């Protein structure tokens, strides 16, 4: 694994906007950064793919353990959510996607940092923008990226009918991500309708969620976290309404850093896992403290030798924290890359790399494209 500097395409902003990446340059700087790229080897791509597939299976096994033992408190899951989780788990409700964040430098096996299994973003960048970057910059080379066609294939599993696509208003990244997924669903041959999450209605007479025209919503992709939904006004209807949500409620078991200590308990010493515990004691003063439920690197603290060396603010941590060993990874020209391996319909489908000079990957971290030389 190597990092190379490279000349950005002169009209790169226009090019990435044309494929839906309109949020490439936030006020804080550049988010889409093609002034560099990562080169992987075919063997490293195999290792990432196999590691992600293995981790997904481990997570499913760990989730089953949570269900069997009723460890809802360990994950900070509200009691009201349990029946919906169990129903969706037992009926194996359709899951479209998720993204593992892995620590990896090519020197050792990829290590799980967390699983964004409910509302992962950085999807347009990974599936589309970096694919077009490869075509225009290194057209003969390859990329670990079959995300787009896997998404279309996954939607086809749902047959026919209408899927609603929902995100919050006025967040370009979320709107564009939901729109991109709507695009792939449309290409799979299903009917699609956009609705903002705030516009979803509850019809008390018919006891169903409805769209702006009062039509029943039966299947809805939501780019909105389950843990928020369960604390909002309409939470009271979630268990009784017959909506099939995408992602399903059972993904609350995976998209939760409370699962990390459980994974380590079940599979101690596994090469794709970092030691992780419910308390800092076993880690001898050097660890990363993470909220069980948080987003975009918020409320993370890096402690070395008992001393806090980096931390981020935020509003998370109410459900408690986990304590994870520090991943032993090399820097690349002063940057710390995190490899986001996409799982589509339960299989690894591609990678997007974000990097930061901080060891904590947050919403300001840059997305850098990648390639590899085919065998």
Rounded to whole angstroms, how far apart are CA atoms 373 and 140?
Answer: 9
Q: Does 252 bind other proteins (CB under 8 A)?
A: no
* Ramachandran category for residue 285: left, alpha or beta (phi over 0 → left; psi -120 to 50 → alpha): left
Q: Which helix (H) or strand (E) holds 134?
A: helix 130-137
Binding mask 76-105 toward other proteins (x if CB under 8 A, else -) reads ------------------------------
Pairing of strands 36-40, 321-324: unpaired
CA-CA distances (angstroms) from residue 305 to 93, 192, 285, 286, 288? Answer: 44, 53, 5, 5, 12
Binding mask 126-165 toward other proteins (x if CB under 8 A, else -) reads -xx--xx-x-------xxxxxxxx----------------
Nearer to other proteins, 19 or 30 (CB): 19
Q: Which of 54, 84, 177, 256 binds other proteins (CB under 8 A)?
A: 177
Q: Which of 1, 58, 85, 124 binds other proteins (CB under 8 A)?
A: 124
Tokens 């009201």 belong to which residue? 80
Number of residues that bind other proteins (CB under 8 A): 75
Q: List the interface residues with other proteins, window 198-217 (CB under 8 A).
A: 198-206, 210, 212-214
Contacts with 287 (C-beta within 8 Å, 6 or more apart), sequence order: 280, 303, 323, 324, 325, 326
Nearer to other proteins, 306 or 374 (CB): 374
Q: Which of 121, 272, 301, 324 binds other proteins (CB under 8 A)?
A: 121
What's the angle, vertex CA 196, arms to CA 217 and CA 128, rounded to 5?
Answer: 100
Determine the interface stretch with other proteins among 69-77, 84-92, 220-228, 245-253 (rule: CB under 8 A): 220-228
Q: Does 363 bind other proteins (CB under 8 A)?
A: yes
Q: Which of 25, 61, 73, 231 binds other proteins (CB under 8 A)?
A: 231
Count the residues in the chain: 375
Determine the interface stretch with other proteins among 72-80, 219-227, 271-279, 319-327 (rule: CB under 8 A): 219-227
């Amino acid at each position: 694994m190597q990092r190379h500097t490279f000349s950005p395409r002169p009209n790169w902003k226009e090019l990435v906007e044309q494929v839906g990446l309109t949020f490439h340059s936030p006020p804080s700087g550049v988010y889409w950064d093609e002034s560099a790229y990562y080169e992987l080897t075919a063997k490293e791509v195999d290792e990432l793919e196999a590691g992600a597939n293995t981790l997904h299976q481990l997570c499913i096994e760990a989730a089953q353990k949570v269900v069997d033992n009723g460890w809802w408190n360990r994950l900070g899951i509200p009691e009201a959510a349990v029946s919906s989780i169990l129903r969706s788990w037992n009926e194996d409700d359709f899951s479209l996607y998720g993204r593992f964040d892995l620590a990896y430098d090519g020197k050792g096996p990829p290590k799980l940092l967390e699983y964004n299994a409910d509302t992962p973003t950085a999807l347009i960048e990974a599936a589309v923008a970096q694919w077009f970057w490869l075509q225009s910059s290194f057209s003969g080379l390859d990329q670990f990226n079959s995300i787009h066609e896997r998404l279309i294939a996954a939607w086809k599993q749902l047959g026919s009918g209408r899927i609603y696509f929902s995100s919050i208003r006025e967040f370009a990244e979320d709107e564009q991500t939901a729109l991109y997924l709507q695009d792939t669903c449309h290409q799979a041959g299903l009917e699609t309708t956009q609705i903002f999450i705030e516009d979803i209605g509850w019809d008390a007479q018919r006891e169903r969620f409805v769209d702006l025209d009062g039509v029943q919503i039966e299947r809805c992709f939501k780019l909105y976290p389950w843990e928020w939904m369960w604390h909002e006004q309409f939470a009271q209807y979630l268990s009784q309404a017959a909506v099939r949500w995408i992602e399903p409620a059972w993904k609350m078991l995976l998209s939760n850093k409370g699962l990390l200590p459980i994974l380590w308990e079940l599979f101690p010493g596994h090469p794709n896992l970092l030691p992780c515990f419910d308390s800092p004691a076993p880690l001898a003063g050097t660890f990363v403290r993470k909220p069980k439920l948080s987003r975009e690197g918020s409320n993370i603290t890096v402690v070395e030798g008992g001393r806090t060396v980096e931390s981020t603010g935020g509003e998370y941590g109410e459900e408690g924290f986990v304590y994870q060993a520090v991943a032993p990874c090399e820097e690349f020209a002063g940057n710390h890359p995190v490899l986001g391996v996409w799982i589509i319909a339960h299989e690894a489908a591609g990678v997007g790399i974000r990097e930061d000079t901080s060891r904590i990957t947050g919403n300001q971290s840059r997305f850098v494209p990648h390639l590899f030389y085919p065998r």
